[in-house]
């Protein structure tokens, strides 16, 4: 059996991008608070320790870590509880002890106000749709 595979290499000025160059790309949030893309175009994602979105804004390369979006997918919203926090997303980003692994999935250890839980459920759905669109758009960089 023979298979043909296409690998998309990231090139800059005709040269393969190296990990050293990738590490120098400015990191920036690519979405606003309504989860609307704020750049010009998405090139794809690169795996370097974890997944990074590679995108263009005003003609310049940018990168955004997709770790937060992936971790959101692992929260079982059916077992979250209600408690007072200011904003679920700021809270999740600040709390390193927020996630606890149980039976192969992540669960939220904290409680949320109903409005924030609703926001989390909505964000989980939208971010999953976005991550699903990235499937097949992996980019490779030279070592």
- Inside any domain, residue 135: yes
Task: Tell which wins on pLDDT, 11 or 78.
Answer: 11
Report the predicted TM-score, pTM, of the whole model to 2 decimal places: 0.70
Question: Residue 33 burial (CB < 10 Å; 0-12/13-18/19+)?
Answer: exposed
- Inside any domain, residue 5: no
What sign does the dihedral 105-106-112-116 (CA atoms) show?
Answer: negative
- Inside any domain, residue 73: yes
- Inside any domain, residue 78: yes
Residue numbers of the domain that contains 42? 11-139
pLDDT recorded at residue 90:
56
- Inside any domain, residue 2: no
Residue that has been written with the tokens 């390193």 in this structure: 96
Task: Find the helix or strand (DSSP H, E) in which 49 lies.
Answer: none
- Inside any domain, residue 70: yes
Contacts of 98 (CB under 8 A, 6+ apart): 91, 92, 108, 109, 110
Q: How many domains does the chain have?
A: 1
Q: Model confidence over 96-123: pLDDT tens digits?
A: 444 444 333 344 445 556 677 777 788 8
- Inside any domain, residue 1: no
Q: Model confidence over 119-132: pLDDT tens digits?
A: 778 888 888 999 99
């Amino acid at each position: 059996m023979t298979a043909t595979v296409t690998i998309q290499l990231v090139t800059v000025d005709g040269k393969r991008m190296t990990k050293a160059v990738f590490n120098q790309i400015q990191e920036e949030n690519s979405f606003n608070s309504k989860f609307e893309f704020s750049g010009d175009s998405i090139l794809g994602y690169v795996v370097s320790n974890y997944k990074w979105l590679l995108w263009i804004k005003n003609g310049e390369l940018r990168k955004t870590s997709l770790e937060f979006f992936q971790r959101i997918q692992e929260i079982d919203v059916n077992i979250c509880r209600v408690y007072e926090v200011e904003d679920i997303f700021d809270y999740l980003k600040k709390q390193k002890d927020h996630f606890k692994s149980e039976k192969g999935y992540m669960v939220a250890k904290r409680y949320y106000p109903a409005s924030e839980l609703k926001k989390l459920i909505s964000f989980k759905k939208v971010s999953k749709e976005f991550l699903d669109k990235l499937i097949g758009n992996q980019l490779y960089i030279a070592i």
